[in-house]
């Protein structure tokens, strides 16, 4: 069974204090790893897709990296507006041919304090 574990569950940072969020995964046949941002009462907002180990993607203060077992979301000099829950998801091929399932982690709730 595909598993996605995110840590920490919650993270509180001072504005400007850089840190990383972790996403560990166990899947058979990884097709892609996604990072999303979710604000309270809203649907997740797509951030990045990573396909293979060693790949990196950047967007403003966020940088996502991928290894064969985990992914990191690095936040450099965060601002209060970066406060949100960050979700990691993996796409893998299920038992049925052509059916690719996406499994989500439980997320890391980030709070950036001014």
For position 25 contacting another protein by CB under 8 A, the verdict is no
Q: Which two tokens stand for residue 35?
A: 């990072």
Residue 1 vs 81, nearer CB to another protein: 1
Of 3, 17, 31, 77, the one binding another protein (CB under 8 A) is 31
Residue 46 vs 79, nearer CB to another protein: 46
Q: Which two tokens stand for residue 33?
A: 């790893």
Q: Please give the backbone phi and psi of residue 104, each rounded to the nearest 5 degrees, phi first.
A: -100, 150
Looking only at residues 47 through 106 of this chain, which bind another protein when binding is defined by CB under 8 A?
A: 49, 51, 87, 89, 91, 99-106
Give the DSSP letter string of 55-89: -EEEETTEEEEE-SSEEEEEE-S--GGG-EEEEEE
**Beta carbon of residue 49, minimum distance to another protein (angstroms, whole number):** 5
């Amino acid at each position: 069974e595909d598993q996605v574990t995110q840590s920490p569950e919650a993270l509180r940072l001072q504005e400007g204090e850089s840190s990383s969020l972790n996403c560990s995964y166990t899947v058979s046949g990884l097709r892609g790893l996604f990072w999303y941002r979710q604000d309270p009462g809203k649907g997740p907002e797509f951030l990045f897709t990573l396909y293979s180990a060693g790949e990196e993607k950047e967007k403003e203060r966020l940088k996502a990296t991928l290894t064969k077992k985990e992914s990191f979301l690095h936040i450099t000099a965060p601002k209060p507006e970066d406060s949100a829950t960050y979700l990691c998801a993996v796409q893998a091929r299920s038992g049925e041919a052509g059916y690719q399932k996406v499994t989500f982690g439980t997320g890391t709730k980030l709070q950036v304090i001014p």
